[in-house]
């Protein structure tokens, strides 16, 4: 083996940079890159046998030793397949890329906008209180199902929540879940705190908080986690509170 080839086989892959039109595993045609992170990169692809668009996450080899990370992620998605807020896992796969074995996960394509992008198109780049309550209710309802399955998200923020549709309510999907280790009570609390932080942010954050209705301030509790935890012991408690909110304009 040539020295340069050996060096390539042992060095980290920081980016795949797959070009449009590349065929993967004789099954998928690359359309475009959707995003990337520490573990890997996500691409929009055409499934050649059906023409259906899918999303594929390619895992960087050094972040996925013995394919353990991809398997954990696949198992968590499968476990949560009945939760409407979670994307649907389809299959695991692998292929050889410049002599390296690359593993990937194929999932449904989540269409819509990130919550960050969605807010940019709203008046004042924020939601009005009633809109924000409807969004929080949709998010909490989805996460309640996740928690009922003894799982959690672990990394909720504006960029990994997808708004698919909205009107009298919001259709949401969440991406990029944490999937290492066993779930504990603090994981559930962290999801709850993060959901309320998102609620606070979509309302415009600190700049607008002073003038928010009392109902909003009661939920946000100044983002004090100890107070939030006392008021809402779980996602179910928060959901119940939202559904029985006495709204005064």
The tens digit of pLDDT for each residue in 204-218 reads 999 999 999 999 999
Model confidence band, residue 6 (pLDDT cutoffs 50, 70, 90): very low
Residue 90 has pLDDT above 90, yes or no: yes
pLDDT, residue 98, reads 84
CA distance 82 to 180: 20
Q: What is the CATH number that goes with domain 113-243?
A: 1.10.510.10
| Ranges in the chain annotated CATH 3.30.200.20 | 9-108
Q: What is the mean pLDDT of the chain?
A: 93
Residue 68 has pLDDT above 90, yes or no: yes
Q: Which CATH number fits domain 9-108: 3.80.30.20, 3.40.50.980, 3.40.50.1400, 3.30.200.20?
A: 3.30.200.20
| Ranges in the chain annotated CATH 1.10.510.10 | 113-243
Both tokens of 52, joined, read 């259906």
Residue bearing the bigger pLDDT, 70 or 7? 70
CA distance 133 to 130: 5
Q: How many angstroms separate the most distant Cα atoms in the chain?
A: 74
Model confidence band, residue 249 (pLDDT cutoffs 50, 70, 90): low
**Mean pLDDT value across residues 82-105:** 95
Radius of gyration, CA atoms only, the chain: 21
pLDDT, residue 167, reads 85
Residue bearing the bigger pLDDT, 43 or 11? 43
Residue 65 has pLDDT above 60, yes or no: yes
- Tens of pLDDT, residues 121-156: 999 999 999 999 999 999 999 999 999 999 999 999
User: Contact at 8 Å (CB) between 150 and 194?
Assistant: no
pLDDT, residue 9, reads 54
Contacts of 231 (CB under 8 A, 6+ apart): 218, 221, 237, 241
Model confidence band, residue 55 (pLDDT cutoffs 50, 70, 90): very high
pLDDT, residue 69, reads 95
**Do the strands 53-59 and 40-47 form a parallel or antiparallel pair, or are they unpaired?**
antiparallel
Helices 129-148 and 235-243: crossing angle in degrees, nearest 10, is 140
**Do the strands 170-174 and 161-166 form a parallel or antiparallel pair, or are they unpaired?**
antiparallel
Residue 7 has pLDDT above 90, yes or no: no
The residues with which 35 forms a beta bridge, in sequence order, are 42
């Amino acid at each position: 083996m040539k020295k340069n080839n050996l060096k390539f086989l042992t060095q980290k892959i920081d980016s795949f940079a797959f070009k449009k039109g590349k065929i993967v595993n004789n099954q998928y045609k690359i359309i475009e890159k959707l995003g990337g992170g520490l573990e890997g990169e996500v691409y929009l692809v055409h499934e050649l046998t059906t023409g259906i668009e899918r999303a594929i996450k390619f895992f960087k080899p050094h972040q996925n030793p013995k394919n353990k990370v991809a398997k954990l992620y696949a198992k968590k998605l499968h476990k949560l397949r009945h939760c409407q807020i979670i994307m649907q896992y389809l299959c695991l796969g692998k292929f050889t890329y410049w002599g390296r074995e690359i593993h990937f996960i194929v999932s449904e394509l989540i269409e819509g906008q990130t919550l960050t992008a969605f807010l940019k198109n709203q008046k004042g780049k924020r939601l009005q209180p009633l809109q924000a309550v409807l969004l929080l209710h949709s998010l909490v309802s989805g996460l309640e199902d996740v928690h009922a399955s003894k799982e959690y998200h672990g990394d909720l923020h504006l960029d990994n929540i997808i708004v698919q549709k909205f009107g009298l309510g919001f259709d949401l999907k969440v991406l990029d879940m944490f999937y290492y280790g066993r779930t504990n009570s603090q994981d559930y609390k962290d999801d709850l705190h993060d959901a309320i932080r998102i609620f606070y942010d979509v309302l415009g954050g600190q700049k607008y908080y002073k003038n928010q209705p009392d109902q909003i301030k009661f939920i946000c509790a100044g983002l004090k986690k100890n107070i939030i935890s006392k008021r809402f012991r779980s996602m179910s408690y928060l959901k119940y509170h939202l559904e029985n909110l006495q709204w005064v304009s």
